[in-house]
A and B are shown apart, each in its own frame.
Chain A
Amino acid sequence: MDLIPTPSQTVGPYLHLGLTDAGSISRIFGDGAKGEKVWLTFRVLDGEGVPVPDAMIEVWQADPEGNYANQAGSTDGAGFRGFGRLATAEDGSCTFETIRPGCVRGPGKTVQAPHINVSILGRGILKRLSTRVYFAGERANAADPVLTLVPENRRTTLLAKADPARKSYWMFDVHLRGESETVFFDV
């Protein structure tokens, strides 16, 4: 059997009612989780560079050992959930408190650099946009099997930048459209 999957529709302007008023998750780990704690601020901008105040970001990431919670063989230990979601504020931003992920195994003998899988939803977004956040300056980026699929001149759109003013704070701008458009993936 090969049923046509149900099509996507926009989350609309009132997503908060169903998804984030009661279901926000800004901290993706529990007490006792090990690893390097980091804060990651997203900012969502439209094709004219105007902040998008009614978007929603979801993140899904591996733990510092490179394992996903719930994956076969994972221990799901130390309260590491790996999932978060937040609505953007008036300035188009939202901030997750997380643990820097480890390298994740990739196809064949490759190793994926630390990355965070991201969904972007919002009014005017008819189907979920999918991207990845990598960390600028990470040595493993050079051999990452996904980053290398991306034309070199667009790779920087996938790199979170360290906030020079605050240790352990990272910033990632999502440009939905336009000259500095973020790379989105067909997953």
Chain B
Amino acid sequence: MSSSLIPAKGKHPGEPVAPFRRHEPGTQPESFYPAYRATRLRAPSQPLIFLPQTLSEVTGPVFGHSDVRPHDQDLTGQHAGEPLGERIIVRGRVLDGDGHAVPNSLIEIWQANAAGRYAHVNDDHPAPLDPNFTGTGRTLTDENGLYSFVTIKPGAYPWLNHENAWRPAHIHFSLFGPAFVTRLITQMYFPGDPLFGYDPILQSIPDGRARQRLVSKFDLETTKPEWALGYRFDIVLRGRESTPFET
């Protein structure tokens, strides 16, 4: 069959689209949150327009093993020497809203070093850089949605948002999940950080239970004797609506 005889599938109705659930009010940050100064000029002022999900929203890019290199999940093993700081293991599962594992999904992380300094040209915090620490990692979740990283506990650092502003120690996480609408970029915090109450980025999420999702838990099971403390950080992506509707 010549290719010109194959109908353009995209132009014809096909199988129904199974949409993803919408967020409950209050469980995501407000876009405009004046206490976080940069939102004042960068958050939309008009309400978002509700878009019933189509094929464009329920599909998304897929990544594989070729996107991840061997040392990508061990941020302490990317240079000739070991980085300074408290070695930690961060481990968890990526789940959907129904508690099902999200397998083979790309996770990218980046973070400051133990002194609270990023290996980034724009970071001018007068804390030392560590020649043995870049602070970037990648991995794929396994078939059970599990992932783990070995890294260094990042330090808190000052920022210019307000008088005496400090970010609580955090690791940036980027996930794709199965669809355009499941894309998530977030930050993982450490339990009991005294800076939580002063941080407008964390406080921009109205719902306390949702904020708690971003705080990892100390985990003795993940902790390795004589080697590293373990933290557990499970990530929940949007799940599908229960009944796919005909589109």
- Chain A residues packing against B (C-beta within 8 Å): 1-19, 21-23, 46-48, 50, 52, 54, 58, 60, 62, 65-73, 81-83, 102-109, 111-112, 115, 117, 119, 121-130, 132, 145-146, 149-150, 154, 176-178, 181-187
Given the interface pairs A17-B136, A52-B42, A146-B51, the reply to whether A65 lies near B9 with Cβ below 8 Å is yes
Which A residue's beta carbon lies closest to that of B187? A9
Is the C-beta of B57 less than 8 angstroms from some C-beta in chain A? yes
Is the C-beta of B226 less than 8 angstroms from some C-beta in chain A? no
Task: Tell me whether B39 and A124 are in contact (CB under 8 A).
Answer: yes
Shortest CB-to-CB span from A118 to chain B, Å, is 10
Task: Tell me whether A65 and B10 are in contact (CB under 8 A).
Answer: yes
Q: Which chain A residues border B45 with CB–CB below 8 Å?
A: 47, 177-178, 181
Decide if the interface of chain B is mainly helix, strand, loop or mixed: loop
Q: Which of B27, B39, B51, B186 contacts A9 (CB 8 A)?
A: B186
> CA of A104 to CA of B23 in the docked complex: distance in angstroms?
26
Task: Tell me whether B59 and A68 are in contact (CB under 8 A).
Answer: yes
Task: Tell me whether A117 and B180 are in contact (CB under 8 A).
Answer: yes
**Best-surrounded residue of B41, B55, B185, B205 (most CB of chain A within 10 A):** B185
Is the C-beta of B218 less than 8 angstroms from some C-beta in chain A? no
Q: Which of B109, B183, B210 contacts A128 (CB 8 A)?
A: B183
Contact mask for chain B residues 186-209; partner A; CB cutoff 8 A; 1 contact, 0 none: 110000000000000110110101
Q: Which chain B residues border A123 with CB–CB below 8 Å?
A: 38, 42
Given the interface pairs A128-B185, A187-B57, the reply to whether A1 lies near B98 with Cβ below 8 Å is yes
> CA of A4 to CA of B234 in the docked complex: distance in angstroms?
12
Task: Tell me whether A117 and B12 are in contact (CB under 8 A).
Answer: no
Q: Which chain B residues border A115 with CB–CB below 8 Å?
A: 56
Shortest CB-to-CB span from A123 to chain B, Å, is 5
Task: Tell me whether A16 and B120 are in contact (CB under 8 A).
Answer: yes
Given the interface pairs A3-B236, A146-B51, the reply to whether A22 lies near B180 with Cβ below 8 Å is no
Q: Which chain B residues border A52 with CB–CB below 8 Å?
A: 42
Binds A, one of B29-37, B82-90, B140-148: B29-37
> CA of A128 to CA of B42 in the docked complex: distance in angstroms?
12
Q: Which chain B residues border A1 with CB–CB below 8 Å?
A: 97-99
Which B residue's beta carbon lies closest to that of A55? B42
Shortest CB-to-CB span from A6 to chain B, Å, is 5
Q: Which of B50, B54, B207 contacts A112 (CB 8 A)?
A: B54
Task: Tell me whether A4 and B207 are in contact (CB under 8 A).
Answer: yes
Task: Tell me whether B180 and A176 are in contact (CB under 8 A).
Answer: no
Given the interface pairs A124-B43, A177-B42, the reply to whether A7 lies near B29 with Cβ below 8 Å is yes
Task: Tell me whether B13 and A105 are in contact (CB under 8 A).
Answer: yes
